[in-house]
């Protein structure tokens, strides 16, 4: 009977992080610049049908790099989160920081629990 392989938790997390970094590196770049009158987002996108930059809520933008289906799923979840928070409390309570915190919590829990990490980088 063969013994199962043992992989330390630290090594497993390092392997997941390396896997995610390799997947993100295959994606196209996103650039954000802040001006006195607003923000400029630019994305390298050869596809006319897949959109990398979108508006999530009032004056809150979203862009992603990496696997399109994964950051599109996160974009839709963020829109639902923002709509629910704006409806429940107030539209002014929906901020980019609160969305970034929600994304941080969900992506962190997925990274720890799932065997395959998300291959995305987000810009909110």
Q: What is the pLDDT of residues 55-95, one digit of tens each?
A: 998 889 999 888 889 889 999 999 999 999 999 999 999 99
| CATH for 48 | 3.60.20.10
Quick: pLDDT tens for 31-64.
899 999 888 999 888 888 888 899 998 889 999 8
Which 3 state secondary structure label does DSSP give 18? helix
Would you say the pTM of this structure is higher than 0.75? yes
pLDDT number for residue 79: 95
Which 3 state secondary structure label does DSSP give 60? strand
Task: Identify whether 10 is part of a domain.
Answer: no
As for how many domains the chain has, the answer is 1
- In whole angstroms, what separates CA 116 from the centre of its chain? 15
> What is the domain extent for residue 70?
23-123
Q: What is the DSSP letter of 15?
A: H
Dihedral sign for Cα 60, 107, 76, 122, please: positive
Task: Identify whether 102 is part of a domain.
Answer: yes
Gap between the terminal Cα atoms of the chain: 51
Tokens of 33: 């610049």
């Amino acid at each position: 009977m063969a013994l199962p392989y043992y992989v330390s938790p630290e090594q497993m997390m390092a392997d997941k992080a390396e896997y995610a970094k390799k997947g993100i590196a295959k994606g196209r770049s996103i650039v954000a610049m802040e001006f006195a009158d607003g923000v400029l987002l630019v994305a390298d996108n050869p596809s006319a049908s897949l959109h990398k930059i979108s508006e999530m809520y009032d004056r809150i933008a979203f862009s992603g790099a990496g696997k399109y289906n994964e950051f599109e799923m996160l974009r839709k979840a963020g829109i639902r989160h923002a709509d629910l928070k704006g409806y429940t409390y107030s539209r002014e309570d929906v901020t980019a920081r609160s969305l970034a915190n929600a994304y941080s919590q969900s992506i962190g829990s997925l990274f720890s629990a799932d065997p395959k990490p998300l291959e995305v980088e987000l810009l909110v």
